[in-house]
């Protein structure tokens, strides 16, 4: 997959994965890897950026004596995900149907 396209999709994939329910970092990485090949060193800056942008919140919870950092989707994150879904539908429409009447 083209690296620029991959970078553009990563935020949407992360938000979609967290939309399924609160998830800790390693599990989230596994969920994302099921869809797109990405390194841990690529994923965590994306998570920090989405948190800074108000799309994700975090909390810590103990599991087997260790603290796990969990990610939750905020209302702003849900809105962003909805926007990404619409953009993907628009792009698919352009590619599949050749429609060109979409505003940029």
What pLDDT score does 102 carry? 53
The answer, yes or no, to whether residue 42 has pLDDT greater than 80, is yes
Distance CA 83, CA 21 (A): 19
| CATH architecture of the domain covering 3-97 | Orthogonal Bundle (1.10)
pLDDT average, residue stretch 25-31: 95
Sorted by sequence, the CB contacts under 8 Å of residue 59 that are 6+ apart come out as 69, 70, 72
What pLDDT score does 5 carry? 72
| 67 token code pair | 């603290």
Closest listed residue to residue 42, CA positions, set 6, 93, 1, 90: 6
Distance CA 36, CA 38 (A): 6
3-state helix, strand and coil shares in percent for the chain, rounded to the nearest 5: 60, 15, 25
- To 5 degrees, how large is the angle CA 75–CA 77–CA 78? 65
Look up the pTM and report it. Answer: 0.84
């Amino acid at each position: 997959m083209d690296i620029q396209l991959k970078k553009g999709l990563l935020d949407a994939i992360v938000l979609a994965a967290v939309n399924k329910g609160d998830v800790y970092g390693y599990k989230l990485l596994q969920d994302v890897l099921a869809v797109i090949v990405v390194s841990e060193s690529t994923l965590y800056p994306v998570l920090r950026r989405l948190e800074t942008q108000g799309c994700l919140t975090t909390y810590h919870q103990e599991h087997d004596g260790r603290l796990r950092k969990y990610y939750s989707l905020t209302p702003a994150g849900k809105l962003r995900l909805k926007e990404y879904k619409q953009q993907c539908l628009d792009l698919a429409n352009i590619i599949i149907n050749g429609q060109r009447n979409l505003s940029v």
